[in-house]
Every structure is written in C-alpha cells, then in structure tokens.
Amino acid sequence: MPNSDLYFSTAADMQKLDELAVENGLPIEKMMERAGKHMLSVLKLRAILPPKTVCIVIGKGNKGGDGLSAAWHLLQNGYLVRIILAEPKEELAVDARRRFDMLESLKFESMLYEEDVEKACRWIMHANVIIDALIGYRLSGNPRDQYAALIKCINDAEDSEVITYDIPTGLEPTTGACLSPCVRAQATLTLALPKLGLVKKDGPDFSGKVIVADLGIPSSTYDLLRPGSRPQFSNTGLLEL
C-alpha cells in the first residue's frame, strides 16, 4: 500500500508538474542534468562501482534524455558505457539530442538498434547493468516494434541488474498494470514524485527498489499541483521507499 506520508502521482499529475516547472523557470535540460547525477548515486548505493559495464537503452523522449545525462556522468566517473538508440538520433527530443551531442567528446560506444539487432542484444546480455530509458509516464498502449523487442532483450539478460528511469517501460503509470511487454527491474529511479503505478497491481513486482529523485522543482511549484506534495528528500536529493 502507498505510504500515507507521500503523494503518489498519476500520469496526468506528472505532466502538469513538468509543465508548471518549465513555466516557472526550470528548463527540462536542467532536470535531465539532475536525473543523470542521481543515477550515478543510485549505482553507488547499490555497490555497482567502476569499471562496470553499463548499457543504456534510449527512447526518443525525455526519458531517453535522462539516460543520456546518466551516460555523461557515468563516463566521467570511470564506468564503461554503451548506448543503444531505439530510434535514430535525429528523432530524439530536442533536449535529449543536445545530451547526445555532449557525449561526442567522450569515449563510448553507441548504435542504432535496428542497424544490428543481434549485436544490440549481445551488448544488453553482457552488461553488468542495464538502464531502461525507453518510455516513461507518457506511455500509450503496449510497447511496439523495436521497443517491444528491446524489452524482451532486457528481460532475457538474467545476469544483469536492470535499473529503470521513472517507471519500468511497459508499466502503466497510473494503474500499475503491466502491459505487454514490460521491463522487469531490480530498481527504479523515479523522478520528482513517486508514480501511483509503482505501488499498484503489477508495480511492486516489476519496479524493484524504488528511489525518488529531487529534480530541483521548488515546493511552491509542487504546491500549485497539490499543497504539500513535495517529497521530503534527504540531503543527497534522494528518498528511498
């Protein structure tokens, strides 16, 4: 059952909070930067230390941008990073594409999934850690095409630890129903607010350990959504559920 001291958001709540944050002067890119730093902290909390190999699977939206921000911080801290794009770089959201361009000065491997499906699945299978940065709370219907295929590769990687951004891809963010297919994670770094779907129906089985991350949204902005809804983050900017 949800913790009564926390406000668990619906997908509509999160869309509204994102809009309010931007309207009140906090750019998406700044929130992505914080999301990337927090993933570094989560790996350290879980005793996953460099030079472990991390494979980050990237969708075209802002969740993909979070994954690319994580790649920057992990590379700077000695992790071996491989990036698999579900869609061509040109299809990435504007802020996510900027994040990818930033990475070009660093040493890492990347590929487009559809260019070599077998190689992409090998990268996933051989990674110490897989970061799911495919589809977030804006999920609409079952993951399809290359997204569905990538989820299958992730779930087949039994020796890898799977950490997902925000909510496992394929998990309905409000109801907690696991659509087909759905990433099964050992940990979830959920952003700004815990999602209701993480604690309902299939959510607990597919989300693993849930950690909420502070994206720098001030309490006054949270209050526009719902008074007192900002989580009580620790001094690290994280809240472990």
Q: Residue 190 belongs to what H/E stretch? A: strand 187-191
Q: What is the pLDDT of residues 35-66, one digit of tens each?
A: 999 999 999 999 999 999 999 999 999 999 99
Q: Is 201 left (phi over 0), alpha (psi -120 to 50) or beta?
A: left
Q: Is 1 a residue whose pLDDT tops 50?
A: no
Most distant CA atoms of the chain, gap in Å: 49
3-state secondary structure of 123: helix
Helical pair 28-45 and 11-23, crossing angle rounded to 10 deg: 120
Sorted by where each begins, the domain ranges of the chain are 11-240
Half-sphere exposure of 92 (CA within 13 A, CB side): 27
Q: What is the pLDDT of residues 134-192, one digit of tens each?
A: 999 988 889 999 999 999 999 999 999 999 999 999 999 999 999 999 999 999 999 99
CB 19 within 8 A of CB 217: no
Distance of CA 12 to the CA centre of its chain: 18
Two tokens, residue 128 = 């110490």
> Rounded mean pLDDT of 27-39?
96
Predicted confidence band at 110 (pLDDT cuts at 50, 70, 90)? very high
Cα angle 45, 241, 80 (rounded to 5 degrees) comes to 30
Question: In percent, how much of the chain has pLDDT > 90?
Answer: 94
Residue 86: exposed, middle, or buried by beta-carbon count in 10 A (0-12, 13-18, 19+)?
buried
CATH fold of 11-240 reads Rossmann fold (3.40.50)
Q: What is the predicted pLDDT for the residue at 240?
A: 95
What's the half-sphere exposure (Cβ side, CA atoms, 13 Å) at 201? Answer: 13
The three-class DSSP label of residue 32 is: helix
* pLDDT tens-digit readout, 77-109: 999 999 999 999 999 999 999 999 999 888 899
More confident residue, 176 or 1: 176
Tell me if 51 sits within 8 A of 92, measured CB to CB.
no
Mean pLDDT, the chain, whole residue set: 95
**Prediction pTM value:** 0.96
**Which residues are CB-neighbours of 173 under 8 A, at least 6 positions away?**
10, 11, 14, 136, 137, 139, 167, 195, 196, 197
Rounded to whole angstroms, the Cα distance separating 129 from 97 reads 23
**What integer pLDDT is reported at residue 5 of this predicted model?**
80
Q: With cut-offs at 50, 70 and 90, classify the pLDDT of residue 4.
A: low
129-133 vs 161-165, strand pairing mode: parallel
Rounded to an integer, what is the distance from CA 93 to the centroid of its chain?
Answer: 15
